Structure 1
Amino acid sequence: MKASEVLRLYKTGKRDFCRADLRGQSFKSQTLSGADFSEADLRGTNFTSAILKEVNFAGAKAGLQRHWAAGQLAILSMLSTLSGVLSGYTGVFTAYFLINPKYTIILGIPTLLFLLVLFVIVIRHGFVVETFGTLVIVISVAFIFVFSLAFTFNGIAAGAFALVTISAIFGIVTNAFVSVFSSSNFNKIFFSTANLFSLSTALTLVAKQMFVNLIPIAASLAIFFATAILLLGNYMASGVLQSDRKYLLIWKLSVAFNTIGGTCYWNADLTGTNFTQARLKSANFRKTTITHTYWKDAKQLHLARSGDTYLANPKIRQLVVTCNGQGQNFDGLDLTGVNLQGANLQDASFIGANLNQSNLRDADLSRAILKQVQLDEADLTGAILTGACIEDWGMTSTTKLENVQCDYVYMRLPTLEKRNPLRKPDDERKNFSEGEFADFIKPYFDTLDLYHRQDVDPRSISIALKNLAENHPDADLQFVALEWRGSGLNIRYTTASDVDKSELNHEYFTNYARIRKELLGSIQLRLAAQDAEINRMEGVINKFIQTGTHQSTIQAETIQVIQGEFAVTENRGININTGDNASISGLSSGDGIVNLGTISGNVTNAINQLPDSPEPAQANLKTLLAQLQQVIETDSDLPDPDKADLLEQVQSFAEAKQMEEPAKRESIARKAMKIFDATLKSLPDTAKIVDACSKLLPLILKALGFAA
């Protein structure tokens, strides 16, 4: 079928060109998206710069037409002859220089040394760009020697030495190329034939030059050196076929030669294209767009020219063809746009890998290590994530998680120092219910994260946050959480969907650094201290920091940014968890009132469950806690959110008394004291509650069995 006929039918709406014979046709720069070329004969077809989105090439045959294949055989035969000739001349001249007394010292020994150095370079360092520097030095020294000979000894001898050096290098490379090409593209019989042809040519040349003159020793040496050159070429070819990167350049030359006249997809758009079970030998995929291209069970893909696409990496190429990466290591690899739909990736490691825009639909990622993996625009619909480690993974709002199957995940990768992988759900007897994982993970992405590694200054943070909100009223910044991440403090905000978070982050930290460096102690900073919104945000951060590394619960204001102003809504409790997964929760809306009545009732019930003191002279914890409760509730200067905070700590003291284990009792009491300390420090020393607590708290601690 002619290309013109295909294009004409395509314009009329026909898409089925299954099993069509399109050998040698040209579709250069044409649009054939959605067409079906399954099992078509595409040998020599030209798809340069074509738009081939979601085209079906399943079972299609790419490669060379017969006349191109015949041409390659002819060229290969000539190269085999050339390899033999070059090897033969190297052997003849080297032997002649060594046995002729006139040239033994002047040419024989230098030639032998040159060959030995050349062999060492090729065997130990390979034939890559990095090796060329060493080769250039060796060849330069050799040719300096040649010019010295030409002027001081004999011009013909100098030319002979130059011929030996050139013949040796090109003989090795030519034989390696012939061996690689014949072995990878034809069969072992042709490989053996090509090598025998090279060897016979070399021996014929040796016999003609040496045996005719009846110099058997020279002939033996010549045969030895000629055979050594050919064997070194075969050694390089063996390294190439075993994917030894030392000889990658030979492989690239072979593949480039192999694709001349083959099926060409150069610069084509193959997004979503299906190459399942297609034969892709001699195909050219240089500069192609291969996002979501499906390579399952594709044949001879390693004989295609991959250019700088991900197919150039043998490990990735093997993965996309087999769709089986179970237990394998893909750390740090760039897998952008790969199609691994339905792949078996159990126990695979993708630490730091780039899986942006990848298709992982229905893939089995059970127990996979996804630490710091990038998943922007990745599709994990229906994927299995049970037991996977998702520490710091780069999931975004564009990551698709519909119908993900997940019983549990780990938020940390176990280390020798920290073996607890932080399982979620925390209770090992429980698993996520259907669809629950997506709801669990949703708050962890698509936020503006302002991470402070060190030098955390609550006042400067509060000013920088207000400035950011005022500068970007359309960003719809909404406060979400404070978190401890490692040893640093992270502040999280949601934003409008079209906001450039990178620019907001950069602006915030530039402003924050300026405030800390230039404004400390300045008039502007002192004025900021009079700003109620800044003070409130500073108070939240201070309370969070002062609770240390233990879990605490306080009642505090939710800071929302509305049109550039901090608005205080006293209807939301903030549950601060400062453990490894520290966060602030309890941000759901309420009725606008802190329910002190409910909290007070809970405190009273907890106190009433305490026993009366058997000794009247002993401090009665029940009485002390009741007095502290009354002071807190009747202090008119204490804000309701702070009252709620402190009342909950009074309840904690009562519950601590009921604990049988001293360690647990001490832990609860210590946490409660930290909340009291953080709250009281934000109040003036003259406040009634401060004076009352200074007297009651030491007695309460003593009643609990601790030193004040």
Structure 2
Amino acid sequence: MVSEEHLAILLQGVKVWNNWRIKNLQIELDLSGADFSGADLSGADLSGANLSGADLSGAILSKANLIGVNFSGTNLSKTNLNRAILIGAILIGANLIGVNLSGANLSGANLIGVNLSGANLSGANLIGVNLSGANLSWVNLSGANFSGANLSGANLIGAKLIGAKLIGTKLSEADLIGTNLSDADLREANLIGVNLSGANLSGTGLSGANLSGANLSRIQALNTNFTSAKLTGACIEDWHTNSATNLTDVICDYIYLIQEQQERRPSSGNFAPGEFTKLYQKSLDTVDLIFRNGIDWDAFAYSFKKIEVESLGSQLDVQSIEKKGDGVILVRISVSPDANKEKIHADFMQGYEFAHKVLEEQYQSRLEDKDKEINRLFYLVNQLQEKSGKVSIYNQQNSQVAGKIVDAETVQSH
């Protein structure tokens, strides 16, 4: 811990040093290895200083001028750098666990491979920053500006990037599992091969982004803009989109419906231009019909035609049929823009249940009639066999034995 006396001497030295800088003298303040743990250096001007290997853990450097400072190997754990200016600073090998960098200006800084777990970088300026291979898991990055930054191979698992700007950011091979990127701006971002499984991308701008080979399984992509994005080779297993998800002009040769490159679509060849959008863009005017015990297609056809007639011939089209597991089937029907979707849904399901019940009763009735007819025929056969001196063995539970005729004498000998 630095003493008040030493701190006073330091600040006086900084003041003198700043006066020298004003006179354009080239000088470097060497504070490498110094112990400033817990010190209050808020607002200090330490630009260009060498603080490599120093201990600044728990220190207060809010609003400090730290332009071009060398923090290589420096201990900055839990240091308060709120709104500090760190333009071009070197932070390779620094301990940044739990550091407060909210609102700080780190543009052009070098943070290759640093550990920022538990840190707060909300609202920070990280334009052009090199954070390749850095650990940013569970870090608050909401509202931060990463435009043009390099986050290749970074660990962003569980990070909060709500409303962050990542325009043109390099994120190839980064791990973004469960990351909250809602309302973030990722236009033209490089997301090749990125793992976004379970991430929240609702309201996110991804126009022109490269998501080739990305894992998009189980993502939330409600109101997300994928205009002109590249999705070739991406996995879209159980992704959640809605009618406001924009897939206009998406560039996609093929996708996978299951992780580990399984269930390729199309199974062979490539999508024609615009075909991916036609297949996966959800229409605003649809009615979702959920069937939990399979579908009685005769009852479905009856109710479907009934709704068309009752709605004065308005065109209904089956847009998609999806198996959701456990016997649940989702049928999505497109309707006219002015249609009353709630009424169509209610009327359809009512008509379906009615038709299913009637058809089931008719089926059971036919089965009963069939059994009666079979029994009548076997009775006649038995009568004929008795007259001819033979016995007819009829076992209604075993169709392979039923109706087998054996010689009466053979039966008696056994």
How does the TM-score come out when normalised to structure 1? 0.31
| Larger fraction in strand | 2
Larger Rg: 1
Q: Which has the higher contact order (CA 8 A, sep 6+)?
A: 1
